[in-house]
Amino acid sequence: MKQNYLYLYNNLINYTRNKDLYKYLNREDNFSDRLTLFLLHFSFFLKNFKNDENKIVLQEIYDFNFRQLELSIREIGYGDQSINKKMKDYINLFHAMVSEIHFWEDLSKSDKFKKISIFLGDFGNIEYLLDYFENFNNDLSKKTLNSYLKSVSKL
């Protein structure tokens, strides 16, 4: 099953590497920017597939993804104490994202703009990113979790 989770993780990473997401960033992107976009993608993913039937699988995916992030932070060269602090910060950021987008479909466009802006304040054209994540969310809602885990669909 972990191979399926790795496939899903890599798909989320590939979405994060989309150069168009960074074209309105007024500086060179960094690890933190990429991680923020990864966590937003992951937030929308979990929001779309959260239900009682998927609860165990989504918890495993959550655990797997954060373990992969921790390994990435270690590869960058952070020490053990720094990693614990960074992971705590990233997990708190992620939970804030999940909380803000929980009722995404019920929000007005201006409310969605405000919520995305909370996390992507350094990006120049939030409107572009809002449209991007709106489309991403819509695409996720058209498929099943199983289709992503069985490598049938790419995110």
User: Which tens digit of pLDDT belongs to each residue from 39-58?
Assistant: 999 999 999 999 999 999 99
| Range of lowest pLDDT (7-11, 109-113, 130-134) | 7-11
> What is the average pLDDT value for the chain, to the nearest integer?
90
In three-state secondary structure terms, 31 is helix
pLDDT above 90 covers a percentage of the chain that reads 68
| Range of lowest pLDDT (20-34, 100-114, 124-138) | 20-34
**Domain range annotation of the chain:** 2-149
Please list the helix, strand and coil fractions of the chain in percent, rounded to the nearest 5, in that order: 75, 0, 20
- Residue written as token pair 């959260």: 50
Is pLDDT of 150 > 80? Answer: no
Closest CA to 48 of 58, 36, 56, 38: 58
Is pLDDT of 87 > 60? Answer: yes
Q: What average pLDDT does the segment 103-109 reach?
A: 95
User: Which tens digit of pLDDT belongs to each residue from 72-84?
Assistant: 888 888 777 888 8
CA distance 41 to 78: 24
Q: What is the pTM of this model?
A: 0.91
Close Cβ partners of 30 (under 8 Å, ≥ 6 residues apart): none
pLDDT of residue 151: 61
**Residue 65: exposure state from Cβ atoms within 10 A (0-12, 13-18, ≥19):** buried
Task: Dihedral sign for Cα 121, 127, 130, 135, please.
Answer: negative
In DSSP terms, 123 is beta-bridged to: 25
Q: What average pLDDT does the segment 104-128 reach?
A: 94
Q: Could you tell me the pLDDT band of residue 155, with boundaries at 50, 70 and 90?
A: low
Q: Which two tokens stand for residue 125?
A: 């054209």
